[in-house]
Amino acid sequence: MIFYKTREEIELIRISSLLVGKTLAEVAKIIEPGVTTLQLDKIAEEFIRDNGASPSFKGYGGFPNSLCTSVNEAVVHGIPNNVPLQEGDIVSVDCGVYKNEFHGDSAYTFEVGEVKPEIKKLLQVTKECLEKALDVSVSGNRIGDIGYAVQQHAENNSYGVVRDLVGHGLGRSLHEKPEVPNYGKRGRGYKMKEGLVLAIEPMINMGVKDVVQLKDGWTIVTKDGKPSAHFEHDVAIMKGEVEVLSTFEFIEEVLNNKN
């Protein structure tokens, strides 16, 4: 069942999505070598609750925390822990909030201190994959157009595109239909119509596309141990151009002020 949203519902999802962006900006303020992902999680949960919302991820399917924090070769669903972040690490921070009966869901991959140029490039290309996906997320196009846009750009840069995990519809539930793979063929798949809200989230590996799940039952890592990057936006499908409901502006303002 695919749920289409009214204009009023889209605006409520936007409020939740913008709160995710502000939460990730709070996280961005303290990311540096020596900080633990559990500290990031605590800051995020306090900020979410102070803003009259609740963390979407906490307790979801038994997940123990408010953030998914995935370091280096971890792709997604990393559980926050007490291991200090190291100079040169990258960490994908994925956050969801629930407010006014609707979810927001967005992710950003952060550099910890100075990272190698080849890792900077991985992050840049992954973000470009997301931008290319947004460009084709309009009424009349198909889900396969999104996957194709991501896959082409990633593979043209010799990166692996994760196939085992996908983007998704978003609304009153955190994960709704349809699934949004990061690979595919143009003109294939579900035809998008106005009012569809999607969470689009390229997960791009420096090496092979293959991933494995750790024994904790959550953390997904690259099979070859090479780094992976992850960026995610929430979008409303409209005629002519996409409407992006989430934002990286708050995060990047913090990062630019830190540099």
With pLDDT > 90 as the criterion, what percentage of the chain qualifies? 98
Within 142-203, where are the H helices? 143-156
Q: What is the pLDDT of residue 241?
A: 84
Q: Residue length, the chain? A: 259
In whole numbers, what is the pLDDT of the chain averaged over residues? 97
Residue 2 inside a domain? The answer is no
Q: What is the pLDDT of residues 184-233, one digit of tens each?
A: 999 999 999 999 999 999 999 999 999 999 999 999 999 999 999 999 99
CA 257 to chain centre: 23
Average pLDDT over residues 96-124: 98
* Domain membership of residue 132 as a residue range: 7-258
Q: What was the pLDDT predicted at 240? A: 86
Instruction: Quick: pLDDT tens for 134-178.
Output: 999 999 999 999 999 999 999 999 999 999 999 999 999 999 999
pLDDT of res. 258: 86
Listed residue (64, 154, 170) closest to 107, CA to CA: 170
pTM value > 0.75: yes
**Domains of the chain: total:** 1
Average pLDDT for 84-104: 98
Give the model's pLDDT for residue 111. 98
Minimal CA–CA distance to 15: which of 48, 39, 59, 45? 48
Q: For residue 104, give the CATH number of its domain.
A: 3.90.230.10
Report the pLDDT value the prediction gives residue 202, as an integer from 0 to 100. 98
Flag whether 1 is in a domain. Answer: no
